[in-house]
Amino acid sequence: GAAHVDADEVSRKLTGENGEALDDIRRVFGDAAFLEDGTLDRALLAERAFATPEETKLLNGVTHPEILRLINKKINGAFFDGYEGVILDASQLFESGLNERCTLVVSVVAPEDVRLKRIMERDGISEEKARLRMSAQYPEEFFRTHSNYVIENTGTAEDLKLQLRQLAGLFEQHIAGER
């Protein structure tokens, strides 16, 4: 009974081919942030954006307003379409202020060494670059203290699915007004 809004999907739409955020990114980060074919050089932009907290803030300042506008439009549309709730998947939930729209906040956490390995494998980057990205994120304790529920993503995919099924039951109770 809930709609799903994926902030990364919205971001990719805005920064993909003919995306609405490309002109602003070019204005702030220059032509060097783009490949010869005119598409965004995501690896280079990530490297620059995570180099310093100021650069991260600069990228967020360029992209977040439009991302927030589209996410809010999707959330409002979901309720208009009759959904009883919206699950917002947003890695930058707190940084963007979207947590203020949430009735419940769930964070998925893992130990630093596990996150480091996952980032390196997912993005094909060095440990140094992965640590740089991690340094731009809130520490695990922040998520533990600012969330209604915490999911421990340290086991198998089946362990994670079990936790998610349990959480789905809690959400259903919450929507029904039982919690």
Q: At what angle do helices 7-15 and 53-80 cross, to 10 degrees?
A: 110
Which amino acid type is present at position 26? R
The 10s digit of each residue's pLDDT in 55-91 is 888 999 999 999 999 999 999 999 999 998 899 999 9
> What backbone torsions phi and psi does residue 36 show, to the nearest 5 degrees?
-60, -35
**pLDDT-derived band of residue 179, with 50, 70 and 90 as boundaries?**
low
What is the pLDDT at residue 178?
62
Q: Which of 71, 129, 136 lies closest to 97, judged by CA?
A: 71
pLDDT level of residue 132 (50, 70, 90 thresholds)? confident
pTM for this structure? 0.83
List the one residue out of 21, 20, 18 whose CA is nearest residue 37. Answer: 18
Distance, CA of 153 to CA of 156 (rounded, Å): 8
pLDDT of residue 152: 92
